[in-house]
Structure 1
Amino acid sequence: MQTRQQLYAQALRQVQSRRQKAVTLATRTMERAREEIPGLDALLRRQALAEAAAGRARLVGGPDEAKAAQDAAAQARAQLEQALSQAGIRPGDLHPAYTCPLCKDKGEYEGKTCRCVHLEARALRRRELSRISALELSRFDTFELDRYPDRFVPEYNCNPRENMAEILNYCKDYARRFSTRNPSLLMTGTAGLGKTHLALAIAGEVLERGADVIYLTARTFFDQMEREKYAPESDLSRIVQEAELLVLDDLGTEFVTNYTVSALYELVNTRMLRRLPTIYTTNIQKEDVLRARYTEKTASRLLGSCEVLDFYGTDQRRREK
């Protein structure tokens, strides 16, 4: 997982690499054209002069002069195209075919990072997330409400399907209106109820809207943080502290130590102070269990910083078997 700075540096390199490839290909095509077409440079000069004359005539000449200049330019263009065609070369191949028409694959446009770099960074992040999660499968339109009981269940004190419909609509709205002012979410419920699915559905849509999104399982996060705890400032620490949206999945499955409790408090507190939303998913449903596992201080900070979404129903993964 890369930091945002590393991600954009890679995106810029890839955009500029496309420029270099386009320039190299056009240069080689021009060299080949010169070898195969005697007098190519004269044809190119003639076309350039004719196009320039036609442009001047349109601005300052009369209708007849403009028409004559335009005809001359068309004739020069046709002669060049015929010569190139006989050599199996298209006129456009003599010039670099840039991917981005704005910055011409330089990565900067009007003094700012070009949109193409932002798009490339977004694609890189999506590939990162897709390698470590079911991001591409977890969309709002693949979430199946009919898998939840459509009746009042006394144990849950609700109709699970109606409850999940409300949660689904809330998550859609959360993603559609995403900003760093969004609240953090704590999705709770037993295994297989769709917590990860909806967390990733939010992540996928928010990513498409241009925000930087990070997904980590709790076990991966705490294991790596513990390995890097003596580093002055680890990349992972920067990544989770800077992400505009962080998804920390399966909280409660990690091995608990004093360090993991401290790391969780630091994560929750830092992101809360920076006003950066986090989506936590956990199988822990009871507050007293959460407090016993992570201490009163950490659990209170977590609960106090989140909107809690309670998932009820039957393990969907078992139903699929």
Structure 2
Amino acid sequence: MKGILSQDMADRIERLRASTKHQALENSATKNSQDSYNCPHCKDTGDIWVDTWTLKECTHCNVRKMQDIQRKVKAAQITDEFKSKTFKSFDVSDRPEPIKQAKRVAQAYVLAFQQIRKNKQNSIALMGNPGCGKTHLLAAVSNNLLDEGVEVFYFPWVEGMKELTSADFEQKQEIIQRMQKCEVLFLDDLFKGRGKPTDYQFETAWAVLNYRYLNNLPILVSTERSISDLLDIDEAMGSRIAEVTKDYKAVINGSREEMNYRLKDEV
């Protein structure tokens, strides 16, 4: 069979075989015996040679899936602290009802995600007081989606806008396009601040949100702004956010002393 292959194709196959063999050797460097591989069939490479020239994905393990999840976690710029945010670690036993309701909404969103992800109402918004756990809950949502192999891109609004402002044109375009096209976008603390966003902040938000709205791409939004506030900033943008988060929205309002867990032992 090798005789009917072009030299270029034969060279490519040899390089692939060498690469796979190298990966298996790297994996084996930390193994004590054949039995210590997670998958003895592919030796944790994710691939099996069927014959001399045919390579196929290993069906005995989920190496490829785990590698894909790890790649997506890294690409999302998610920190170890972020990964520690789970629903289990979000204790609501002594928290007010609006916060308990926000947790229920976040959990319901995760359960429904695969069924609604292509719909217009496929997003979630947690809105209201600072310090009430909005970021924690949406980080828990993100971590659950990442565990399912769904790409999530985390964009903390204040820090992200500072990075965009100082970036060159090509970097700006790369970040904005990633925000537009990723599977799920997590906008944390959208329009944080007392005043209206700057023209550049609004134009960036509009470019991203309108693209995702037109293409039915989900967003996770935490913000201290209300829907009314967002409509005042721009009615078209505010109404889009209201529409896509219609089925999964929680508003957490109340006194600072009651809602802000950071002040629990201070007031």
User: TM over 0.5: same fold?
Assistant: yes
Q: Report the TM-score, using the length of structure 2 for normalisation.
A: 0.69
Aligned length: 226
Q: Quote the offset at 1:128 in angstroms.
A: 5.3
Please state how far the C-alpha of 1:91 moved relative to its aligned partner. 8.4
Indicate how the Cα distance of structure 1 residues 101 and 206 shifts in structure 2: closer, same or farther if over 3 A, else same: closer
- Partners of 1:176 and 1:24 lie apart in 2 by 38
Conserved 8 A contact 2:20-2:45: no
Describe the shift of the 1:91–1:170 C-alpha distance in structure 2 as closer, same or farther (beyond 3 A): closer
Seen in structure 2, the aligned counterparts of structure 1 residues 309 and 231 have a Cα distance that, compared at 3 Å, is same
Q: Structure 1: which amino acid aligns with 2:118? A: R
| Offset at residue 122 of structure 1 (A) | 1.1
The residue aligned with 2:71 is 124
Distance 1:117 1:226 in 2: 37
After the TM superposition, which residues 65-214 of structure 1 pair with which residues of structure 2 at under 5 Å, given as runs? 98-100=43-45, 102-103=47-48, 109=56, 116-127=63-74, 129=76, 131-132=78-79, 134-149=81-96, 160=97, 163-179=98-114, 180-181=117-118, 183-214=122-153
Q: Which runs of 5+ in 2 are unaligned?
A: 1-17, 50-54
**One-letter code aligned to 1:174:** Y
Query: Matched residues, percent identical?
Result: 19
Find the residue that maps to 2:153 and give its secondary structure. strand
- Assess, with a 3 A threshold, how the Cα gap between structure 1 residues 91 and 273 changes in structure 2: closer, same or farther: closer
Q: Deviations over 1:115-170 (max 9, x none)?
A: 53342131133245575473222111111112323xxxxxxxxxx2xx43333222
Once the 2 structures are TM-superposed, how far is the Cα of residue 189 of structure 1 from its aligned partner? Answer: 0.9
Q: 1:166 to 1:291 in 2, by over 3 A?
A: closer
TM-fit CA distance, 1:263: 1.1
The answer on whether the counterparts of 1:23 and 1:96 sit within 8 Å (CA) in structure 2 is no
One-letter amino acid matched to 1:290: L
| Residue of structure 2 in register with 1:65 after alignment | none
Distance 2:264 2:34 in 1: 60
Larger Rg: 1
Structure 1: how far apart are the matches of 2:34 and 2:185? Answer: 49
Q: 1: distance between equivalents of 2:42 and 2:179?
A: 38
- Say if 1:25 and 1:169 are closer, same or farther in 2 by CA, change over 3 A: closer
Aligned: 1:301 with 2:246: no
What secondary structure is seen at the aligned counterpart in 1 of 2:83? coil
* Counterpart secondary structure, 2:189: strand
For 2:216, give the aligned amino acid. R
Match of residue 216, structure 1, among 144, 149, 155 = 155
Q: Secondary structure at the match of 2:150?
A: coil
- Normalised TM-score (structure 1): 0.59
